Structure 1
Amino acid sequence: MKINNFFYILLAAYLATFLRLFINNNFIISVIGSFLVGFFISKRFSYSIQEILLTGFFSCFTSFSGFIYFLYKILNQGAWIKFIIFFNLIIILNLFAMFVGFWISRKIT
């Protein structure tokens, strides 16, 4: 990979982190991010554009650590049932949002 691509990945990661500050809700961020990932993976971009979007932007925008921290707070409260419901709900909704994004992107093109 060229050095320019590393710069673009870092720039995309910075922009995603900055955007994440304005949306202070991990659940909404993960659903929006999953939708957008599904939308963009259906496009046939070059390898470097995919790396910039998926590795740079979406990895920072939909950070896994935010999802884990959200579940950790629920688990620390001792709410096992709530933990199991949210864990499954987040996984299912994110997969569904990714599928819808992929489907919409295919219908547009």
Structure 2
Amino acid sequence: MKIKSCIYILLACYIATFLRLLIDNNFIISIFGSFCVGFITSQRLSYSREKILLSGFFSCFTSFSGFIYFLYKIFNQRNWIEFIVFLNLIIIGNLITMYLGSWISRKIT
């Protein structure tokens, strides 16, 4: 990978992290990110653009640690039913949203 692509990935990470701090809602970030990743993966992008967007921007924007921290707080409260419901809602919701993004992308192109 070229050094220029690495710089773009770092810049994308910086922007995504900044946006994540501004939004400060794990659920909205997760759903929006899943939709966008589904949309992007259905597009025909160059290797470097795909890496910049998926490995750079969306990896930082939809960080898995935010999702895990949210579930960890519920887990520590020992609210097992709420934990199981949120775990399933987040995973199923993200899969459906990612599929929807992919479907819309294919319909547009």
Shorter-chain TM band: over 0.9
Question: Is the partner of 1:45 in helix, strand or coil?
Answer: coil
Structure 2 residue ranges without an equivalent (≥5): none
TM-score, structure 2 normalization: 0.98
1:59-70 alignment to 2 at 5 Å? Answer: 59-70=59-70
Identity of aligned residues (%): 72
1:97 aligns with 2:92: no
Q: How well do the aligned residues superpose, as a CA RMSD in angstroms?
A: 0.5
Divergent runs of 4+, >4 A: none
User: Following the alignment from structure 2 to structure 1, what is the Cα–Cα distance between the partners of residues 103 and 22?
Assistant: 28
Question: Is the partner of 1:54 in helix, strand or coil?
Answer: helix
User: Following the alignment from structure 1 to structure 2, what is the Cα–Cα distance between the partners of residues 22 and 102?
Assistant: 26
Aligned length: 109
Question: Is the partner of 1:43 in helix, strand or coil?
Answer: coil
1:43-91 CA-to-partner distances (Å, cap 9, x unmatched) read: 0101111100000000000000000000000001010110001001000
Deviation at 1:97, TM superposition (A): 0.4
TM-score, structure 1 normalization: 0.98
User: Following the alignment from structure 2 to structure 1, what is the Cα–Cα distance between the partners of residues 67 and 19?
Assistant: 17
1:17-39 CA-to-partner distances (Å, cap 9, x unmatched) read: 11111111101100000000001
